Amino acid sequence: MLVFVIRRLLISIPVLIASTILTFLIVKATGDPLTYLKTRQANISPEAKQRFIDQEAHRLWLDRSWPAQYWHWISNVVMHNNWGQQVQGNDNVRTDVFTALGVTARLVAFAIVIALVLAIVTGVVSAVKQYSITDYTTTFAGFLFLSMPVFWFAILLKEFFAIKFNSWTGTQTFYTLNQPTSWVNPGQLLGRVLLPTIVLGLASYAAWSRFTRASMLEVLNSDYIRLARSKGLAPRTVLVKHALRTALIPLTTVTALDTAALLSGAIITENVFQWRGMGYLFLTSLQNRDFNVMLGWLLVTATFVIVFNLLADILYGFLDPRIRHA
Amino acid sequence: MLETHETISGEETGEPGAGKPRVEREFTVKERSYWQMAGRRFLRHRGAVVSLFVFILLVVFAFVGEKVWHYKWNGNFIDYRDISKAPSLKHPFGTDERYDWMAEVMRGTQQSLKVAFIIALLGTGAGAVWGVVSGYFGGFIDSALMRLADLVLTVPPLALAAALAYSGGGKLWQIGVVLGAVSAPYVARVVRGVVLSLREREFIEAARALGASNLRIMWRHLLPNTTPVLIVNATLLIATGILAETALSYVGFGIQSPDTSLGILISHAQGAVTTRPWLFYFPGLFIILIALSVSFIGDGLRDALDPRQTRERR
C-alpha cells in the first residue's frame, strides 16, 4: 500500500509542474495586462504615457522573455511563497486566492453533504425498486436537474423563494450580498448558505444518484448477494452490510474527483448569488487581465484536482484491495 | 456477417417465386444486422423516441423557423404599441422593449445548437483519435498521451473556456473549439479503455497476420468498433456543451452581445423575472428541452448500442 501511494505521488509531481507551464501559457493567451493603461485617455504627453507603461511593464516583469517571466513567478511562489501582486492595486495575490477559497469551501462543503445524502438515499431506493414509479420519478428528476442550467435555476430560486419569503416575513433571512458570512451565527449562516448550496448540490446530486443506482444494481445482481440471500440473511442486513458497502466504493472516487471540480466550478452559482469566492475572483481577474491572480488561481485549482485525483486513487486502493494488488 | 447468408434468406429479399431456391426451415428468424437490432432496441425506449421527435422539432424551429418567421432577431424594431407585451398570437413568446422574443429565442437556440454540435464533433473526433492511438500502441506513447490528458484535465474546463474564448473575442466557433478541445480528454480515456480490450481480440490479430498496417487496423478495425461508445459520448457532450455555452454567455464570457445566445437572453431577462416573466422562462425552457431530450436520446442509444447493459428484471 505504501509503495502504491508513493508511486502515485511521484507520478503527480511532473503533472503538477507541467500544469503550471500550461496555465502560464493559457494566462499569456488572455492578452496584454497593460491594455487598460494603453487605452486610457490621459492628459499627459505620449512620451510620459509611454514611460509610465514601460515602468509598469518593468515592475511586473512584462518586459522580460516568457521563460524568464515563468521562472520569476514559479521561483517566487516556491522559494518565498510570494505569489506576486495585482496589476491594478497592491493586494497580495496569495491572500486574495485563499480568502476566496475559504468562501467557496463553505459553499461546496454544504453542497457536497446535501448532494451525497440525497444521492445515496434515492440511488439505493431506485436500485432496490427498479422500474417502480419511484425509480422512474427519481430518474426523471435526475435528468431534469442535469439538464437545467444552473444560473436559470438559481435565479428562479432567488426570485420566487428568497425574495418572496423575505417580503412575506419582512426580514432579511435570505441575504446573499457579498459580505463574508460568519460561522458563529447559525441563523445568518443558514440564510446565506441555503440557496446557493441547494443550487450547487442539486447538480451534483443528479449525477451521483445515477451513479449510485448503477453501481448498486450491479452489486445487487452479483452472485455473492444471491448467496447472502439464499443462506437466509435478513434482507436489511444483505442490503446495508453486503450490498451498500461495496456499491459505495466507486462513489467515493467520483465524489473525490467532483469535489475538486466543484471548488473551481462554482463560478456560475457564485455569480448569481454574488458570493466573492473563487468564481468571482477568476472572472474579475480575467476581465482585468490580472495575470498573477489568474496564475495563482489556476495553480490552486490544478493542485486541488491533482490532490483529489490522488486521494481518489488511494481511497479506491484502500477500500478495494483488488485494485492495490493488481 | 457472412455474405452467403443473404442468398439463403431469399424469402424476404426477393419477390415470391422469382426462381430462387426456397430453403425449407423449421423456424424462420429474420436476420438482422447490428444496426437494425440497435434501431429496434432504440424504438422500444419510449422516452428516447419521444425525445428524438422533440429534438428534431427543436432543430427545425431554430433553423427553419428563423427563415419563416417574419420578425427577425436583429431586424426592425417591433411596433411601439407591442413593446413589452405578454405572449399573444402576434408575438407567441411576447416582446421585450425592442424585439419579438420568439425570433430572439430562435436565434439563441440556433447558436446554442451550433456550438453544441461543434463541441460534440470536435470532442468525439479528437477524443477518438487520441484514445485509439493511445490504446493501440500502448507503452510509451500511451503513457505520454494519457499524462497529456491528465494535464488538460487539471485545468477547470469552464475557466479555460472562459479565458480562451474571452481573449478570442467570443466568436461562436471559438467557443465550440475550446469547449470541444477541453472535452476531448474525457472521450479519449473512455475510447482508450475500449481499445485496450479490443486490441487483444482475435480479429485484430488476424488483421495483423494478414499484413494490415497499423493505420489500417486503427482506421478500419478499431475505430468502427468504438462507434457505439462515441455516439453515446457525443450525446453527452451535446447536453453538457449546451449548458457550458449558455453558462459562459450568461456570465459574459461566451458569445458577445451584438449576437445572441440563450444564455445572453436569460442574463438580459434576469431583472424582469417577476415583471415580464416570459422573457425569462422561454430561453430557460429551451435550454432544458434541448439538454433533456439529448440526454434521453443518449440513454436510449446506450441501451440500444450496448446490449450487455440489458434492461432485464432481476
pLDDT higher than 50, residue B1: no
pLDDT, mean of residues B180-203: 90
- Picking from A143, A291, A309 by the largest number of B CB atoms within 10 A of its own CB, the best residue to mutate is A143
Please judge whether B295 and A283 are an interchain contact, meaning their C-beta atoms are less than 8 angstroms apart.
Answer: no
The band of A171, judged by pLDDT with boundaries at 50, 70 and 90, is: low
Q: Which residues contact A311 (CB under 8 A, 6 or more apart)?
A: A256
Q: Which residue has the cell 446573499?
A: A176
A286 vs B contacts (CB less than 8 Å): 162-163, 166, 253
Please tell me which of the candidates B153, B270, B274 has its beta carbon nearest to residue A305: B153
Q: Which residue has the cell 453558462?
A: B247
**DSSP assignment letter at A31:** -
Query: How many helices (H) and strands (E) are present in chain A, helices listed first?
Result: 16, 0
For helices B227-251 and B157-167, give the axis angle rounded to 10 degrees: 60
Is A296 exposed, middle or buried, given 0-12, 13-18 or 19+ CB atoms closer than 10 A? buried
What integer pLDDT is reported at residue A116 of this predicted model? 92
Is B46 exposed, middle or buried, given 0-12, 13-18 or 19+ CB atoms closer than 10 A? exposed
- In this structure, are residues B164 and A31 in contact, taking their beta carbons and an 8 Å threshold? no
What is the largest distance, in Å, between two alpha-carbon atoms of chain B? 78
B45 sits in the region (left: phi over 0; alpha: psi -120 to 50; else beta) called: beta
The band of A11, judged by pLDDT with boundaries at 50, 70 and 90, is: confident
How far, in Å, CA of B55 to CA of B39, rounded? Answer: 17
Which residue did the predictor score with more confidence, B223 or B69? B223
**Interfacial A residues in 124-143 facing B (CB < 8 Å):** 130-131, 143
Please tell me which of the candidates B147, B156, B292 has its beta carbon nearest to residue A144: B292
- The CATH number assigned to the domain with range B47-304 reads 1.10.3720.10
Is B76 exposed, middle or buried, given 0-12, 13-18 or 19+ CB atoms closer than 10 A? exposed
Which range (A71-75, A289-293, B30-34) has the least confidence? B30-34
Q: Which residue has the cell 440556433?
A: B110
A31 vs B contacts (CB less than 8 Å): 167
In chain A the beta strands, taken as DSSP E runs, fall at none
What integer pLDDT is reported at residue B10 of this predicted model? 41
- In this structure, are residues A191 and A174 in contact, taking their beta carbons and an 8 Å threshold? yes
With CA atoms as reference, report the closest residue to B73 among B277, B264, B246, B272: B264
Q: Which residues contact B297 (CB under 8 A, 6 or more apart)?
A: B48, B51, B52, B55, B235
H-helix or E-strand spanning residue A309: helix A291-319
**Predicted confidence (pLDDT) per residue in B52-81, tens digit:** 999 999 999 888 878 877 777 777 666 767
What integer pLDDT is reported at residue A271 of this predicted model? 84
The domain locations on chain B are 47-304
With CA atoms as reference, report the closest residue to A36 among A60, A61, A17, A53: A53
Highest mean pLDDT among A67-76, A191-200, B97-106: A67-76
- Picking from B154, B158, B249, B251 by the largest number of A CB atoms within 10 A of its own CB, the best residue to mutate is B154
A282 vs B contacts (CB less than 8 Å): 159, 162
pLDDT higher than 50, residue B96: yes
Minimum Cα–Cα distance from B150: chain A residue: A15
How far, in Å, CA of A101 to CA of A108, rounded? Answer: 10
A13 shares contact with chain B (CB less than 8 Å):
no
What integer pLDDT is reported at residue B20 of this predicted model? 56
Q: What is the dihedral of CA B172, B175, B176, B179, to 10 degrees?
A: -170
Minimum Cα–Cα distance from B147: chain A residue: A15
H-helix or E-strand spanning residue A191: helix A186-220
Please judge whether A155 and B247 are an interchain contact, meaning their C-beta atoms are less than 8 angstroms apart.
Answer: no
pLDDT higher than 70, residue B176: yes
> 3-class DSSP state for residue A148?
coil
Q: How far is B31 from chain A (nearest CA, A)?
A: 31
A269 vs B contacts (CB less than 8 Å): none
**Predicted confidence (pLDDT) per residue in B262-307, tens digit:** 888 888 888 777 778 888 888 899 999 999 999 889 888 887 886 5
The per-residue pLDDT of chain B, averaged, comes to 81
Strand partners, B100: B95
- Picking from A152, A200, A269 by the largest number of B CB atoms within 10 A of its own CB, the best residue to mutate is A152
The band of B8, judged by pLDDT with boundaries at 50, 70 and 90, is: very low
Q: What is the dihedral of CA B29, B31, B32, B34, to 10 degrees?
A: 110
Q: How far is B155 from chain A (nearest CA, A)?
A: 6
What integer pLDDT is reported at residue B309 of this predicted model? 52
Q: Distance between the two ends of chain B, CA-based, in angstroms?
A: 32
pLDDT, mean of residues B6-27: 52
For helices A133-147 and A186-220, give the axis angle rounded to 10 degrees: 120
Minimum Cα–Cα distance from B311: chain A residue: A131
Is B237 exposed, middle or buried, given 0-12, 13-18 or 19+ CB atoms closer than 10 A? buried
Residues in chain B, how many? 314
A265 vs B contacts (CB less than 8 Å): 156, 158
**Interfacial B residues in 32-51 facing A (CB < 8 Å):** none
pLDDT, mean of residues B216-236: 88
The band of B7, judged by pLDDT with boundaries at 50, 70 and 90, is: very low
Please judge whether B154 and A15 are an interchain contact, meaning their C-beta atoms are less than 8 angstroms apart.
Answer: yes
Highest mean pLDDT among A196-200, A318-322, B28-32: A196-200
pTM of the model: 0.83
Q: What is the DSSP string of B70-124?
A: SS-TTSSPPPGGGTTPPP-SSSTT-B-SSSBHHHHHHHHHHHHHHHHHHHHHHHH
Minimum Cα–Cα distance from B239: chain A residue: A147
What integer pLDDT is reported at residue B70 of this predicted model? 74
Q: What is the ipTM of this complex?
A: 0.82
The per-residue pLDDT of chain A, averaged, comes to 82
Which residue did the predictor score with more confidence, B210 or B268? B210
B251 shares contact with chain A (CB less than 8 Å):
yes
Distance of CA B220 to the CA centre of its chain: 23
Report the sign of the C-alpha dihedral through residues A252, A257, A263, A266, in that order: negative
Neighbours of A201 (CB within 10 A): 26
pLDDT, mean of residues A270-274: 83
A15 vs B contacts (CB less than 8 Å): 147, 150-151, 154
Which range (A123-137, B9-23, B95-109) has the least confidence? B9-23
pLDDT higher than 90, residue B206: yes
With CA atoms as reference, report the closest residue to B120 among B230, B24, B238: B238
